Amino acid sequence: MTNLQRAAEALRAFKKVVFFTGAGISAESGIPTFRDKLTGLWTKHEPQRLETANAFRENPALVWSWYLWRRHHVGQAKPNPAHYSVSQLAVAGWDVSVVTQNIDDLHERAGSSPVIHLHGSLMDVKCFACHRPGTLASAQLETPEEEQLIEPPRCARCGGKLRPGVVWFGENLPENSWRSAVRRVKSCELLVSVGTSGVVMPAAAIPDMALAAGATVIHVNIEDVGFGGTDEIMLLGSAGMVLPALLKAAGVAV
């Protein structure tokens, strides 16, 4: 029996499924990862150096403009067949939840719900000073012209500078999101880990958490990230190819 057949058998057997997704699923929609070369103004900067609270303190306009550029890039991207496979499985009758490390909204635009964002969302903003959620007018979301930097808007409550609603390096995951993710992972029958690097903690512990709770884990990745356990199945290939093939092999009617 091939790994695809084993995975299809597991999908037919288990109806409570959590998809745990990382950068690999969104890369197929053209959203760059840290490994991709940046363009324009951003060729001069390393993303890791822009995604910290200290960077925002030192140059809020630079960091804010970087995130406006990223938000614009995400807005132009479209969900790919992997995103749609997740939502199609739910339509076909499976109990599907999504836990993602990604800060884009491609799962939501593909029709998935609920989607738990462990690292926050580019679509959200909050105050750097009082931490309350904020809102932005459409004019405040316009992408800067080349070499132009835009100062972040101010919080309507305290006057502090608004920052992206994402988790920066050195910050803790949102407590409510992490608790919700842990609860769903520990109660699922099948975890499908898609395009995750397995190195960013504590999210990288999620597959092990599912295995410890008795679930079967399917890994979908372009490289082998499995540990060879009896309850693990490794499917090598791009998410946009593998997930539709998995649904087809399982006989999922969409």
CATH (residue range 1-31+78-119+173-254): 3.40.50.1220
Domain boundaries, the chain: 1-31+78-119+173-254, 33-76+122-166
| Confidence category of residue 18, pLDDT binned at 50, 70, 90 | very high
Identify which has the larger pLDDT, 33 or 96. Answer: 96
Provide the CATH topology of domain 33-76+122-166: SIR2/SIRT2 'Small Domain' (3.30.1600)
From 83, 119, 131, 219, the catalytic residue: 119
How do residues 64-78 score in pLDDT, each as one tens digit?
988 888 888 898 899
Please determine, for residue 39, whether its predicted confidence score (pLDDT) is greater than 60. Answer: no
Q: Give the total residue count for the chain.
A: 254
Equal CATH topology for 1-31+78-119+173-254 and 33-76+122-166? no
Q: What is the pLDDT of residue 141?
A: 61
Percent of the chain with pLDDT over 70: 87
* pLDDT > 60? residue 122: yes
Verify cis geometry, omega within 30 degrees of 0, for the bond prior to 81. Answer: no
Give the C-alpha separation, 152 to 60, whole Å: 7
- The pLDDT > 90 percentage for the chain reads 69
Element (H, E) at 18: strand 16-21
d(CA 100, CA 128): 24
Is-catalytic flag, 119?
yes
User: What was the pLDDT predicted at 145?
Assistant: 60
Confidence bin at 36 (pLDDT 50/70/90): very low
